[in-house]
Chain A
């Protein structure tokens, strides 16, 4: 009886949610749970950018943007619930910010004909657009990140990593395991020794891993962490006096939240990135004027300009560009979910375009095609300056090792195609 009452009540509510005729985007955010510290700035940046579009430009191409937000708590079951509750409202693109949820949604979005953009996370082999027709991971993916980190080490060592010891400390999940294959292949190519150290969710307990690092004395440590794991790892590295400039995180392990708890000792910590840092771009003036000062900032409004805020903003910017492209292709301002996929496939980001939107030099130039959903895979290295309290880029956006990565992507995507009876094609 209770069940029936509840279900009846839920039915009434679902029916009551309004139908909208605007461009709908969905932010699958996590502002609660063990990963909230990282989820909040991203969600804020994502929301603020769309608020800016609505306030300043009146939406995209004259169509207002309706941003739905759904809390996943980084939990796959809630992620599915969010997806199901928002897909019928015409969401144009999903950006779940969780590799676990991405894996869940890949088959679902493909069956439902909706685009998904996993910027710098998710399934790396989705770069092969002929197999993963609805999933995009431009401008860079995990394997690019691993390769850019190794390239940086190669540069530091004058082009030779032979005999060096590299340790990977990773979140023991699908996310953390992603770079292992690439790092192994690269280790065969460059001749370094790789050791793997897994940290279980949520990552507060890392004493034994760092004890091992202290014992084995690797030359470099690469980190694939998220949430509280990052802060703990950096603190532990400080505790064993591991030289910070030899410690490189992936882009998900390189935000202010991660380095600040360790104080001055975190000075020199590095992370890979695929977009620029700081708030020294014209667009931030507009955000201040139209969003923050107008009292419309998402969340507490205190995250503007932080690394993950910028990433959320960049994700929203790329969605905006794809939507404009889709409007241009279809000749229709009110684009459909299928149009959006075509827009993403034809996406081209150039410096003049970024200049025009107040984001000069914010990210690399790249273009997407039906075969290549991942762009060129450019990445840069950023370093933390604890004195000034800010990140700065210490390299330009440089390409990853395409030779190694493309072969791995081909292999993995073909395995997926065979498993799921997909005939690759564009």
Chain B
């Protein structure tokens, strides 16, 4: 049994060391059986998990809700549309209100970078970042590692090519850091306007040529996030040209290569439907991994990290 650690939150992959990642993936593996048998674990019996989502989400929210329920936690989800300003109540006030219910974990998704950190500063609960702006989405990266490990049997020296709109992708940032942590090799591929400057400093190679995916073990396809492109600020001339240059078509995938996508997919834009539906694609496996990995993350924070409530008492004293 590992010792309790000082970390209280999962806000960024940067919060984790390699052994943390390995422990979470191993613990997730242990939940596979209960996921398959739909057996509830009593691990978080009597605990409360609140999901605070300021951005629409189907799979992440469902996955966190189910994970909490499979662990016997009480769970409730709050969907807030728009930014905290539109809503009239500040993020800090919302966090302090929720804190009054004394939840054990709060899962936050927000359209702006750093919002979960603000919640973490205002609350006694453990905070899990379920995606903040273009910054981080650590549980997505962990479930992607789990999926790759499951399919390939290793992560060390695995070569992953991440393709598409890297500029607007929190998934890409988290995944690059997570892959670096476990010793994988990464290549980022996308149009020059959608790969931010200094990407190499995150430990990856960068290419604007789709041919660079040929050597990879895994092709990780990013969603072409049209909603992030305000009118009058087109990063690419057209989706048609994007698809021609970077779309993942059967011709661009070789036998044995794995194809992952964080969803939701724009079929026919960044990924050809024939690839999405092929045996190479592990999209459904990613969704299943999401459940067990989030069970592992919740368990890890509540049972291993510095207890939130006792900590609060110490701070008050």
A and B co-occur in one complex: no
Give the interface of B toward A (CB within 8 A).
none
Give the interface of A toward B (CB within 8 A).
none
